[in-house]
Amino acid sequence: MRATPGRGDFEPIEYFFDETSGNPGGADSGWTTHPVYTDTSLEPGTSYTYTVKMRNALGQEGNASLPFSVTTPAADFVQVQIPNGGFDTIYKPGQTTITGTISGYTKGVGPATTLSGGGKFNFSDNTSGILADVPGWIGYDRDGWIRYGGTGPWGTQNWNLQGFLAAGGMKDGGNAFSCNGAGWACREGGLIVSAAPIGKIQGNATYVLVGYGAGAVTPIVFKLLADGVEVTPTSATDPQLTGGWQKFSRTYAPADLAKHVGKQITIVCGLGRDAKGTQGSIDNLSLRYFIVP
């Protein structure tokens, strides 16, 4: 975007490009002395609308311009598989074909996961039990979890016990990963990470990480790691939870990923440390990228 340069007695003149559609990836420029602004984190095939206004060195602002809309070109996304990104896969211990459902709620995730509150796992071979494998995820940041209290409802002996799975996900009959906050005596929250790398960061690619949250807690966490190091997103959408499911997104532009190309990707999600509120859930994680021509 390029604004007609402003003139006045009190310079420098500043410009504010305002993205008003609210669609994922769109970002405002903030006040800048440059009349040119490039929004680098847009998603393909998406409509965005902008206005621009100016102010002088005294802080006096002019009116916003008429809105200008544009739709970015479509692009073919490559979907990166996040194992058990919907938290619906449960296996009978040691099996990969005999699946299970939850009656009650789990104590964390990972292999040999147990249940709390007298629940049980019901398996597809018509058996049941109190142990099951919840694949795809393990506990994250054991030391941080314990430092913030690390009690949860079931002790500190295993950091995989952060959070729990229970029925009530976004899909009918599906599960969600849930965590308690300080309102329910769990200030440490609960974080989990991909049990194994899910791919390598590609060059000249924009990545978009999406997840859904519900409940009444903060902070909800969705992170992309490169060789175990958090990558700062170019832009992010973090709605305030008011009960129902809401979409969270993280967009990573090629310039911000340049130093991470070729590194292994893992995902962290859950409820962050110093958690506030009562209980929240996350579900339906997805990661995709497209190559920038």
Q: Are residues 127 and 245 in the same domain?
A: yes
Is 130 domain-assigned?
Answer: yes
Is 81 domain-assigned?
Answer: no
Tens digits of residue pLDDT in 183-203: 998 899 999 999 999 999 999
Name the residue type at position 142. R
Name the residue type at position 90. I
Q: Are residues 60 and 112 in the same domain?
A: no
Residue of higher predicted confidence among 75 and 246: 246
Report the percent of the chain where pLDDT is more than 70: 95
In whole angstroms, what is the distance from residue 150 CA to residue 256 CA? Answer: 34
End-to-end Cα spacing for the chain:
20
The total domain count for the chain is 2
Q: Are residues 68 and 104 in the same domain?
A: no
Confidence of residue 61 (pLDDT cuts 50, 70, 90): very high
By the 8 A CB rule, do 234 and 41 touch? yes
Is the pLDDT at 154 greater than 70, yes or no? no
Q: For 227, left (φ over 0), alpha (ψ -120 to 50), or beta?
A: left
For range 209-215, the mean pLDDT: 93
Q: Domain containing 190 — which CATH number?
A: 2.60.120
Q: Which domain holds residue 20?
A: 11-74
Least confident of 164-173, 195-204, 274-283: 164-173
> What is the phi/psi pair of residue 129, to 5°?
-175, 180
pLDDT given at position 158: 57
Q: Are residues 150 and 261 in the same domain?
A: yes
In whole angstroms, what is the distance from residue 146 CA to residue 162 CA? Answer: 10
Report the percent of the chain where pLDDT is more than 90: 60
In whole angstroms, what is the distance from residue 164 CA to residue 180 CA? Answer: 9
Tens digits of residue pLDDT in 221-277: 999 999 999 999 988 888 888 878 988 989 898 999 999 999 999 999 999 999 999
Confidence of residue 62 (pLDDT cuts 50, 70, 90): very high
pLDDT given at position 151: 60
Is 219 domain-assigned?
Answer: yes
